[in-house]
Structure 1
Amino acid sequence: MTYPVHTIETAPGAAKEVLAAAQKARGFVPNLYAVMADAPALLKAYLRVGELFDETSFSPTERQIVLLTVSYENSCEYCMAAHSAIAGMQKVPGDVVQAIREGTPITDPKLQALHSFTRSVVASPGRPTDAQAASFLRAGYSRSQILEVVLGVAMKTLSNYTNHLADTPLDDAFAKQRWSKTG
């Protein structure tokens, strides 16, 4: 199935302002937003959920771990590339991003616990075992952060599924971070 990659001019009226704001803030309209513009409510929901995820108690590095992990588990090539680039801009350690991209363990035990727990939430779906939750809590995370992981999973599910349905073309800005799941 294909969807149009809208421009500000071709987008439905309710999405034009959102795309214009993205253009102003980023210098370009990400293709994901341009595809989501076909359903303005989806575009607005995705961006709002992203704003709320930024308000969680997770650090920028931890947030990117959640988003990259969900994208890896869902085999979303677009989001893996985009969030690899964003992680670099946010100074997420390169070895952490590389580990997630390669499907290998993260060397930092607390960050690995976040990665593992996020994987369990996606794989279950939404039904991690008590042992998995206990391991996450023992690593130093809180009960509320379990629910914050759910918020990150919800955010990435919106974009991962959209990208799968639309086969969203990768933006030039993310091309150096192109990714595909091996194995």
Structure 2
Amino acid sequence: MTTTSAAARVPLVLGAEAPEASRALLAAVHGAFGATPHMFRAVANSPAALQAMWGFFGALGGGRIPARLGEQIAVAVADRNRCDYCLAAHTALGRKAGATAEAMSAAQAGQSADPATAAALRFALQLVEQRGQVGADDVAALRAAGFDDGQVVEIVAHVALNLFTNYVNVALDVPVDFPGVKLRPR
């Protein structure tokens, strides 16, 4: 089934309408979520992009950064990039990972009562705002908060994945299919 909402800039493909090479991955996405979120249906127009995205999610899901922190990073990056889709999706996923509504709202603003989480969010937003041009002191601050080198690299990877998903959803105007969350005023 292909769906194109008034807002979507590419078809939201599913089933036989999806390229053959995307179908097995879409089935895996459906199995993981119990549905096939619109973002994956938009990305499925390119089997290579879908494989990259799904593989990236899977790899980081098996990493050392806990799911809750990964979702907090995602909402901070989504808010900064004005991505309604990712803000809604990752707020819901963060709640599922055990974060309170208050913790997710604070993360959206790049804040946390937990010093290590606050340091990770600060670093993630520095990466976004400075387009990766952070300094040795920025990495040292993350280490001082308790993150080892592997975790530092994973935080960078989480930011990179979220930039990818933010850009897909914003550029292609993918309709939000998670409970809406308001972006912070600018």
Under a length normalisation based on structure 1, what TM-score does the superposition of the two structures give?
A: 0.90
Q: State, as a whole percentage, how many aligned pairs show the same letter.
A: 26
Deviations, residues 130-158 of structure 1 (Å, cap 9, x unaligned): 22222111111112222111211221122
* Alpha-carbon RMSD: 1.6
CA distance in structure 1 between the partners assigned to 2:32 and 2:146 by the alignment: 35
Task: Specify whether residues 117 and 37 from structure 1 end up closer, same or farther in structure 2 by C-alpha distance, changes over 3 A only.
Answer: same
In the other structure, the counterpart of 2:28 is 21
CA contact (8 A) 2:85 2:175 kept: yes
Matches within 5 A, 1:117-132: 117-132=123-138
- Is 1:63 the counterpart of 2:66? The answer is no
- Is 1:158 the counterpart of 2:164? The answer is yes
Deviations, residues 69-111 of structure 1 (Å, cap 9, x unaligned): 222222211001000001111112332201123x263111111
Partner secondary structure for residue 168 of structure 1 = coil
Partner secondary structure for residue 131 of structure 2 = coil
Selected match of 1:32 from 11, 36, 39 = 39
CA distance in structure 2 between the partners assigned to 1:73 and 1:32 by the alignment: 19
Structure 1's unaligned 5+ residue stretches are: none
In the other structure, the counterpart of 2:181 is 178
Partner secondary structure for residue 167 of structure 2 = helix
Task: Specify whether residues 146 and 104 from structure 1 end up closer, same or farther in structure 2 by C-alpha distance, changes over 3 A only.
Answer: closer
In the other structure, the counterpart of 1:96 is 103
Quick check: 108-117 or 140-149, which moved more? 140-149
CA distance in structure 2 between the partners assigned to 1:6 and 1:169 by the alignment: 13
- How many residue pairs get aligned? The number is 179
In the other structure, the counterpart of 2:5 is none
CA contact (8 A) 1:79 1:160 kept: yes
Under a length normalisation based on structure 2, what TM-score does the superposition of the two structures give?
A: 0.89
In the other structure, the counterpart of 2:19 is 12
Task: Specify whether residues 29 and 116 from structure 1 end up closer, same or farther in structure 2 by C-alpha distance, changes over 3 A only.
Answer: same
Code of the aligned partner of 1:180: L
Partner secondary structure for residue 16 of structure 2 = coil
